[in-house]
Structure 1
Amino acid sequence: MQPKLLIQQIGRYWNVDRVLKLAFLVCILLTSTSLALSQKYFYYYNGEKQPLELNTNYVYLVVQSDIPDSNQLSALVDKDVQITKFSLDNSAQTLKAVGNYKASSEYWAELKLKSDMSSEEYLTYLKMLEAQESIKVATPYFKNQEEEKIGLSNYLYVKIKSKDDFSRLDKLAREMGVTIVGQNKFMPLWYTLKCTKDSKFNALETANRFYESGMFEHAEPDLMVDELPHTPNDPLYGDQWGLNNTGQYGGAGTDMQVEDAWEITKGSRDVIVAVLDHGFEMNHPELQGNTIGTGFDTESGTTPALVLGSHGTACAGIIGARDDNNTGISGVAPNVRLMSVSNSLAGTPNSRQKRADGINWAWQNGADVISNSWGSGVQYAIIDNAITNALNNGRGGLGTIILFSAGNGNGNVSYPANSNPDIIAVGAMSPCGERKSFTSCDGEGWGSDFGAQLDVVAPGVLISTTDRQGSAGYNNGVTIHPNLGGTLVANDYADQNHTVWFNGTSAACPMVAGVAALVLSVNPCLTHDEVEDIIEQSAQKVGGYAYVNTFGRPNGTWHNEMGYGLVNAEAAVQLAQQMLPDNGDFDLYAKDRPFDIGSEPNPDNGPMWISEDIWVRQNLDGGASHQNPEFKLFSPNGVYVKIRNKSSVTSDCANLSLYFSKASTGLVWPNHWINYALLAF
């Protein structure tokens, strides 16, 4: 019945005043009904309903382990559907286990629908998908005033009001057919729950019912929004096509997916990358604050490291230049720390032994990764032995990650990159996604080495990076680039701290060293073999080459000119996260005083210099008694630390941070304890 007719009917019996009041009431009811319909989809935030609308262009799926890749899923769903995301679900890894829950092997995917659907057709399509045996969950996407694309996963978060309310959570979860996955390790009142094929409602509806029960402080669905990667404010970042290829230098948009990796990590201060090269300027505005210690000079066999040329500063910047400092560039891993090991890189007497010394010094002093942008025309067992030492003994036995540039001779991979299969041998790629060669799109007349020992490629031409300050570096005021028609290009910076055209596999090698550092930043428990496997398995098959299965290359398809392909920082970091061990509730400590029992703060006020868990040895001989350290030029003193576990839960992997200082009186923490080493065990 229309409102006007309703008023006329009622007017026969009521006076006009009453009719007007009733008309007003009817209008309110109609408006409320419209508002209710517009808020069919919503979630609660701080007690307020947050409205949502359906986005019928996307679908979220959870599929079981018999659909292990996007190709099989594509065959299962529809030829007119694009699979835009596909990944293993490892959500439980970050949570504290609750009860007997065991994570099953599942994959999640995002589908993009190519044809438009009405809301009714879209909801029917979701039901059709969920009816298939291999699909566990199919949930809708939404939009609101701020975001056009909001995905709904099968998870929700519930905060109980007190620790005694867990039984209420457990009871309602059982009634609703949802599973309690785990407890937040940092905020123990928060729990993560999971909707399955047996659940009565999806995660949005379930969260609303949990909140509306009044038993819980918060209940929120897991809504997924693609955050735009943050672009650093460094002025030369726009030139860094290897990190974000927007077509610079005629490129094809192919890059290392670094911005996406940064959404997960920009590196850890616990990860140390040694640059064995000319040495780098530790007071460079882009590098200072990201360095560790004073380094080592192989030419003199002493510390500190020196700056013997421009090459090392350029390599160091590619790995770990600071980001978002309104200066220059950003490194691949801008939060890691850099160790300088200087060598002349020249054919001088004893030069190869000095390089071996640099490798040994680096791993013995805590380097997790050693980047080597140099080669040798002659092979040396002394270098081979140093590399083997680092691979076998570095990082507390997990092995230091060793990377070498493949060489710039347009021929076979050069030495030492070709000397050991556990080395990551890195070739150079042009901005167009092809092997850097005499005919690649950049127009520079050299070629990256390739062949049987090549592992991966990375950007290696037209690379913007740090340069020695002043006129000593590559950029001494003006630069002419051959691909720019001989145009004279003025220096980008009056202080001459950067170069915009660093080239060679020398540039490609530190690119991959930065990715290795990102990998270790999310999972320090990995062995050197596992890091290499991750980098190779996750590489992108770019350039239109025919990558094929190759004997002796177990980590996927491979090509003679590209190895496993272009390094993919995001995929490598994600794969490293999936390999994290479940450390459980172990409780590790080392006695810093005789009666230390692992309580914090330590109630024992006795002297710390007689700890039975920390002792010094004059050589790395495994001795169990303390010796006073002695000054030596060539072999290090060693500090041994015993780790105890108070818990009955076995520790899979953990980090030990050891801080030390020169002996003196009046030492104050942390001012004087600037020396540092990290071991994983």
Structure 2
Amino acid sequence: MHVKKTLLCSCLLTAFSSLATDNLTGGDPLTPYQWHLHNSGQQGLGATAGKAGADLNLLTTDLLGIKGAGVTVTVIDSGVELTHPDLVNNIAPGSLNLLTGGTEPVDNSGHGTAVAGIIAAGADNNLGGRGVAPEASIVGFNYLDAQSMSGWLQSHGLPVNGAASSRVYNQSYSSKPAMFADSDGELSLSLQLKEQVMRNVSLSSNNGLGALFVKSAGNAFKYYDTFIGDSEFRVLPFEQQQRFNNAGLPFHNANLSADNSSFWNLVVSAYNSNGRLASYSSVGANVLLTAPGGEAAGQQAGIITTDLSGCENGFNSTFSNTDQALQVSGLDASCEATAAMYGTSAAAAAVSGAAALVMSANPQLDARTVKHILATTARKIDANHSGIDLSFTDNSGNQLSYNAIPGWQQNAAGYNFHYFYGLGTVDVDAAVAMALQTTASLPALQIAGWHSNNTALTIPDASVAGVQDSMQLTDNLTIEAVQLKFSVTHQRMRDLAIELISPAGTRSVLLSPRTGVLNVTGDTVHNAVLLSQHFYGEPAAGEWQIRVLDTDSGNSQTLVYNKDTGLLSMNDTNNSTDGILQSWSLRVYGH
């Protein structure tokens, strides 16, 4: 019966695709402005028109009535206003206030409530806008107010009482470390515990269907704020005697966070209503998908979603002009919505909603297969982006050029990929169509052991030749992701670029140069882990190559600012000796 029903629904989906209108069904007053759901190039609230087609492409899915019913999404955030009129009908049991132990995860900032609305605000109720999956259920945790290990475990699928039933865990938060974490160091026990919990929840929860962890990449393309010791600093680039100039390259790599380099997290970058990378979005080889994230209030549109109720709370309040255009419109007299949400937080929420739609369309699919469907059906966004070349001067005064970020490439398995956008933007209609035709899950996941090379190799200063090494893998797997672990001695880590080349010849830049890493505790990075999604679907067996380049003879700097210390310059002197690649290891996840 399942197969017949699936094939029937697939035929209907094809038929409806030619009938889908230019608007979503229903009459919620703000839905026509929700460009992330359907972008016709419409004028936003206080923003210029976007680019038609830069959206989630879900009109046909919605017309079919596939709206996320039967799927629960956990929102791990600042909390959720469970009584919000546009959310209350979609709240499932299981929410927890991690500070008080109560069942009301009070949201003091509005961020978690906005995220929940992007995922599952109700539709056709004449309130605000609607969610990507307006019939999905929501469970909320105020984890950002209680970031203990206990709080993490309870919110990520290991509750004290009972078994978690969520199919999707949305993590619209990110850390911005200034240094690489030592995966085998002091934090290794907590990292291993998190990995084990996420593995179990991903593969074994929900009677073996598992769950999908969705994670925002971060909002640190231009600069980032981080803690060094107990003090918070703003870290920014200084290139060609200009602050915030980073030669067009991302200043913070999404792979720097240990959470973001985990296989179990589906990491998401953000694009704006013009279909280009959002100005703030962190990026990296670990990004699997991109989704609408909008921009800050101004000329380009934000994301319309739920806000804390009342005109004295949240983003849309009488104390702020952030939502002035929405207030003037008269479409939200009760101040229960915002048009100013933006960030990779919003993009992650959009992917969580999309995953709920796919799961709702075919409830028998396990989480890994859903992830595979989203990856396989992703489409290019900003298709003409040609990448970024970095010019620098070597020690002899010669001008060199390095292709620091390639444009769109296609790997040997036929998947398109980009450092900014992963495998592309979520295409809901295509994913649902594939889900309806899918009658078998992926083969069981296999995780290969680490393969290591411990021969120390010199990294020449300011050279496009760099240093190369290779190793042979015999794992007979189809790749779902590859992790690189490395140890490097280098006094200016921001100079370095790290590439990995597969046996099929696919080149993935795992660390782009000019990343704002601080060498404040010495000049050796131990056991740092980077993840790449660029080899998705390729065979793992064969010869792999690593390439490490130093791309600066000492002209760039990193600035750090703190109100007490003022503006300080770091990494302003070129390394006195050549760096050394001490060791590197590879681990493949696949089937």
Give the TM bin, normalised by the shorter chain.
0.5 to 0.7
2:169 to 367, 370, 392: 370
Structure (1 or 2) with the larger CA radius of gyration: 1
Which has the higher relative contact order, 1 or 2, with Cα contacts under 8 A spaced 6 or more apart? Answer: 2
Give the 3 Å change call, closer, same or farther, for CA 268–457 of structure 1 in structure 2. closer
Matches within 5 A, 1:256-655: 256-343=56-143, 345-346=144-145, 351-361=148-158, 364-377=163-176, 380-381=190-191, 382-410=193-221, 411-413=252-254, 415=257, 417-437=259-279, 447-461=280-294, 462-470=302-310, 471-477=312-318, 479-480=320-321, 492-544=331-383, 545=385, 546-550=407-411, 556-580=415-439
Distance 1:511 1:416, change over 3 A: farther
Higher helix share: 1
Against the structure 1 CA distance between its residues 507 and 230, is the aligned structure 2 distance closer, same or farther, given a 3 Å change threshold? closer
- How much has 1:295 moved relative to structure 2? 0.9
Q: Which moved more, 1:307-316 or 1:294-303?
A: 294-303
Contact 2:410 2:417 (8 Å CA) reproduced: yes
- Mean CA deviation greater in 409-418 or 279-288: 409-418
The one-letter code sitting in structure 2 at the alignment partner of 1:391 is S
Structure 1 contact 267–334 (Cα < 8 Å) conserved: yes
Partner of 1:186: none
Letter in 2 for 1:384: E
Residues 280, 312 of structure 1: 8 Å contact kept? yes
* Deviation of the 1:300 alpha carbon: 3.8
- 2:49 corresponds, among 233, 250, 254, to 250
Query: Contact 2:7–2:437 (CA<8 Å) still a contact in 1?
Result: no
8 Å contact kept, 1:412–1:451? yes
Mapped partners of 1:224, 1:478: distance in 2: 44
Amino acid in the other structure paired with 1:305: P
TM-score between the two structures when normalised by the length of structure 1: 0.48
Cα distance change, pair 252–302 in 1 and its aligned pair in 2 (3 A)? same
- Cα distance, 1:435 vs. partner? 0.9
Q: Is the 8 A contact 2:167 2:211 kept in 1?
A: yes
Alignment of 1:153-232 (within 5 A): 226-228=19-21, 230-232=24-26
Q: Is this contact kept in 1: 2:326–2:339, CA < 8 A?
A: no
Cα distance, 1:246 vs structure 2? 2.0
**TM-aligned CA distance change 1:479 to 1:304, over 3 Å:** closer
8 A Cα contact 1:478 1:489, kept in partner: no
Distance 1:421 1:289 in 2: 34
Letter in 2 for 1:307: D
User: How many residues are aligned here?
Assistant: 358
Give the Cα–Cα distance (whole angstroms) in 1 for the partners of residues 96 and 18 of structure 2.
46
Question: Cα–Cα, structure 1 residues 393 and 224, in superposed 2: closer, same or farther, change >3 Å?
Answer: closer
Counterpart-to-counterpart distance in 1, 2:326 and 2:18: 45
Which ranges of structure 1 fall in alignment gaps of 5 or more residues? 1-89, 98-105, 111-150, 152-222, 438-446, 583-681
Instruction: Quickly say closer, same or farther: Cα 1:448–1:91, change in 2 above 3 A.
Output: same
Match of 2:90, SS? coil
**1:477/1:496 contact within 8 Å kept:** no
CA distance in 2, matches of 1:334, 1:295: 19
State how far apart, in whole Å, the 2-side matches of 1:283 and 1:575 are: 36
3-state SS of paired residue (2:115): helix
| Secondary structure of residue in 2 paired with 1:541 | coil
Tell me if the contact between 2:74 and 2:139 (Cα under 8 Å) persists in the aligned partners: yes
Distance in 2 (CA, whole Å) between partners of 1:285 and 1:224 is: 32
Cα distance between partner residues in 2 of 1:386 and 1:109: 37
Distance of 1:280 and 1:394 partners within structure 2? 24
Compared CA separation, residues 260 and 453, structure 1 to 2 (3 A) = same
* Structure 2 CA distance for partners of 1:255 and 1:227, relative to 1, 3 Å: closer
Report what 1:183 is aligned to. Answer: none
Q: What percent identity do the matched residue pairs reach?
A: 29
The corresponding residue for 2:485 is none
CA distance in 2, matches of 1:227, 1:473: 35
Residue 94 of structure 1: aligned partner: 5
Are the equivalent residues in 2 in contact too, given 1:308–1:342 (CA < 8 A)?
Answer: no
SS in 1 for 2:156: helix
Measured in 2, the distance between the counterparts of 1:386 and 1:550 equals: 32
Q: 1:396 to 1:286 in 2, by over 3 A?
A: same
Amino acid at match of 1:433: G
State the SS of the aligned residue for 1:289.
helix
Change (3 A) 1:400 1:108: closer
Which residue identity is paired with 2:199? T
- Equivalents in 2 of 1:572, 1:452: separation in Å? 22
Displacement, 1:391? 1.2
Task: Measure, in 1, the Cα distance between the counterparts of 2:142 and 2:220.
Answer: 24
User: Following TM superposition, by how much is the alpha carbon of 1:395 offset from its aligned partner in structure 2, in angstroms?
Assistant: 1.7
TM-score, normalised to structure 2, is 0.55
Measure the CA separation in 2 of the matches of 1:96 and 1:563.
30
C-alpha separation in 2, matches of 1:521 and 1:244: 20
Give the secondary structure class of the aligned counterpart of 2:38.
coil
* Offset, 1:271: 0.9
Alpha-carbon distance, 1:230 to partner: 4.2
Q: Is the 8 A contact 1:515 1:569 kept in 2?
A: yes
Please state how far the C-alpha of 1:233 moved relative to its aligned partner.
0.7
* Kept after mapping to 2: 8 A contact 1:375/1:416: no
Quote how far apart the aligned CAs of 1:480 are: 3.9
Does the 8 Å CA contact 1:427/1:508 hold for their aligned counterparts? yes
State the alpha-carbon separation in 1 of the partners of residues 439 and 137 from structure 2. Answer: 22
1:617 match: none
Whole-angstrom distance in 1 between the partners of 2:17 and 2:105? 47
Deviates more, 1:278-287 or 1:314-323: 278-287
Query: Is the CA contact 1:306–1:342 (under 8 Å) kept in the aligned structure 2?
Result: yes
Matched letter for residue 262 of structure 2: N
Tell me by how many angstroms 1:393 deviates.
2.4
